[in-house]
Structure formats: C-alpha cells, structure tokens
Amino acid sequence: MDRETLPKVVVIGGGTGLPVILKGLKKEKVNITAIVTVADDGGSSGMIRKQMNVLPPGDIRNVMLALSNVDQRVVDLFQYRFEVEGELSGHVIGNLILTALSQLNDSYVDAIQVLSKVLKIRGQVIPATDEPLVLHAEMQDGSFINGESLIPLQGQPIKRVFIDPVDVKPLDTAVQAIAEADLIVIGPGSLYTSILPNLLVKDIAAELIRTEAPVVYISNILTQIGETDNFSDLDHIRVIHDHVGEPIINHTLINTAEVPRELMFPEDVRQVAHDTEQIGKLGIHALTDDFLSTEEGLVRHDAKKVAAVLMKLLAQNNN
C-alpha cells in the first residue's frame, strides 16, 4: 500500500513520551501525523523562542528524530547539547538547525518540511499552531503563573491551565489530519504542559469532539511532581475532559506492571494509580497490560507493545 491508502493515525502531544510511541508506530503500516505542542519556554527552546520570536523547536525536533530513518550518528548530532561556557551553553544543535531553516524558508512549516526530507521521516510533523503559545496556570490558591516551565515548580496543585492567544488558529493541516484520522492517540506526556496546550486550541478540540475515530489516551506510568502528584488514570482523563469541555476519550491504555522503586526518581514520584472500574463507568474502554520498559534504567512505555495494541484497535475499528 502507498502512503495515501494506509490507515491514518494522528498522535497528539509533546515532551519525551510522545517520541517513544512514534518509534513503535513508524515500524507499522500506517500513515502517521504527529501534532506537536508549541508552548515550551524552557531550556534551549525557550532561549531561542525569546530571542527570535519563533516556535520553540525542541518538541518538534524530538518528534522528527523519532520518525527519522537516518544513520544513528546523524540523530546523535541533532541531539547534541553544548556544555560550554558562554551563550552556546545548553543549546541543542538540532534546535539551531531547525531555527536556521525557518529563516532560510518562507515559514517554520516550510522549514519542517525541508528537514523532514533530510531526515527521511515516516509521516508528517505539524505544530499545533504556527504561533508560539504562552501557557498560563491558575493554582488552587488562586494565584496565576505565566510560562510553561514555571508551572510545575510551584509546589501546589493546578486548578486549570489556559493559553494565550486564547483564540489562536491551528494549522489547517492539523485540523484536516484529525478529521481524516482512522485512529487518534493522545499522549503520553506531561498532562498540563505537553498535552493540554494542544487540546486548548479551540478548533483542534472541536475536531476531536466531532471525530468518529477512536481516541486513545495513553496514561503516564509515573506521577509528575508539580503536575500530577497522587493522580490516578481516572484523574488524567477527568482533567482532559474538564479542559476540553466535553468527553473525547473512549479508550485508555494503562500499564499494569509494577515499576521497581529504585527507578522512581525524584523521591516523591509514585506509580500512577489505577481506577479501571470508574473509567469503565464513563464508557471508556481500558486497555490494560504490561507496557513497561526499563531499558537503560529509564521508565518508559514499551514502544513495540503499545504499537501492537494500537494496531489491533485500528484493525477492529476498520472491520
């Protein structure tokens, strides 16, 4: 089958969890579209964004490399981070290359398309919008925090997050991809700072409400300090639905394997609690199994196992 006739899978998110899932999916016979958050304002991405008023490149870079089909040495080059004194300190080469391409082409989207060809990526990568977003949070004590990187540092629960500009328009290609999708996957990733910024773009949320394709939320394996302390799988889903305004998730993928305590860090991190009974009462099908990978001492989803379950769900929906 050529790309146009393959089943269409849209994956939405950002951070470090999304690339893991994409590495598994790119080995399957599917047409992949990754819709990526543009709210990051920390690290190398934040420095570039502040100085040049462009989309933060970090999440986009990581997703593109996950979908790439080039020599590992090229990937390592794009992921190389300078550890030197001075202005280059902390910058990632791939971020600089992507930003340079945005200056050499008509738009950031054009730069992504050029780099996609260089990296021979499977599928397409689309920013949620072509305008950098500022993420704000209202905390439980009524205070407001401005900036994605500052939100998890407050040491108290988050009441809600919202974006500026509030009426930002997504790229037409992102909306079209959701409208044409046979399967939509959200996450895994930081709930408030990687996943929700995409879903708060109104036209993206509207298309997710409208779609008849299965929408799968891949629940995080561990809690995240400052974002999802003491959260269960059900809490993640409720937060997403509260922010979108309507239920959009009808399947959730949950890891049931126990994470070795020595791999949970910092110390206050815990395994996300399960509440499959209550999830079922919401009409959501829980896909539970051992999806745990601890390769290189890191707690991640097993990309191959996750891809296999997603492909099974896709096949069931297409029959």
Domain boundaries, the chain: 3-37+129-318, 41-127
Q: What is the CA radius of gyration of the chain?
A: 19
The secondary structure of the chain in percent helix, strand, coil, rounded to multiples of 5, reads: 40, 20, 40
Closest of 239, 242, 245, 235 to residue 210, by C-alpha? 245
The answer to whether the beta carbons of residues 307 and 24 sit under 8 Å apart is: yes
> For residue 213, what are the contacts with CB-CB under 8 A and spacing of at least 6?
181, 182, 183, 184, 317
Q: Output the CA torsion sign for 78, 84, 87, 89.
A: positive
**The whole model's pTM is what?**
0.96
Closest of 262, 316, 251 to residue 289, by C-alpha? 251
Which fold is adopted by the domain 3-37+129-318? Rossmann fold (3.40.50)
In this prediction, residue 3 carries a pLDDT of: 62
Per-residue pLDDT of the chain (319 residues; tens, 9 = 90+): 556 689 999 999 999 889 999 999 999 999 999 999 999 999 999 999 999 989 999 999 999 999 999 999 999 999 999 998 888 888 999 999 999 999 999 999 999 999 999 999 999 999 999 999 999 999 999 999 999 999 999 989 999 999 999 999 999 999 999 999 999 999 999 999 999 999 999 999 999 999 999 999 999 999 999 999 999 999 999 999 999 999 999 999 999 999 999 999 888 999 999 999 999 999 999 999 999 999 999 999 999 999 999 999 999 987 6
What distance in Å separates the CA atoms of residue 104 and residue 98, rounded to the nearest whole number?
A: 10
Main-chain dihedrals φ then ψ at residue 306, nearest 5 degrees: -65, -45
